[in-house]
Amino acid sequence: RGIHLNGPPLGRPPKDRTIYDKQLRLEREDSRERNAIEGKFGEGKRRYSLGLVKTRLQETSETQIHLAFLVMNLQKILRDLFIFIFSMRFYAKRRKILAVTG
């Protein structure tokens, strides 16, 4: 499943520098991946009220959490679509200006 403990191993660092460098590289990769995931959860708590789930039943709590993540995904899709449309329009105008002046 790829589940493993994060953080530096206990004890002294190995004498072989290549093993030590490999461990450091794996730690950095794990940290990078973990930071991205924790950042999304933090955004959900800050902007989408995931830190304020006060429903009593498990089913309604899960529904509220699912809806918050659905809204997060929809906003990302809309943001990407807006950037795509805006950049295409800007590119077309720029090409038109270059054709007239060039």
Give the pair of three-digit tokens for residue 30. 């794990």
With 90 as the cut, is the pLDDT of residue 5 above it?
Answer: no
pTM listed for this prediction: 0.66
pLDDT at 61 (0 to 100)? 96
Give the pair of three-digit tokens for residue 68. 């918050």
Write out pLDDT tens, residues 14-49: 889 999 899 889 889 988 988 999 999 999 999 999
Instruction: Quote the Cα angle for 46-53-76, to 5°.
Output: 45
Indicate the residue type of 24.
Answer: L
Write out pLDDT tens, residues 46-88: 999 999 999 999 999 999 999 999 999 999 999 999 999 988 8
Name the band, by pLDDT with cuts 50, 70 and 90, for residue 1. Answer: low
**HEC string of 32-93?**
HHHHHHHHHHHHHHHHCCHHHCCCCCHHHHHHHHHHHHHHHHHHHHHHHHHHHHHHHHHHHH
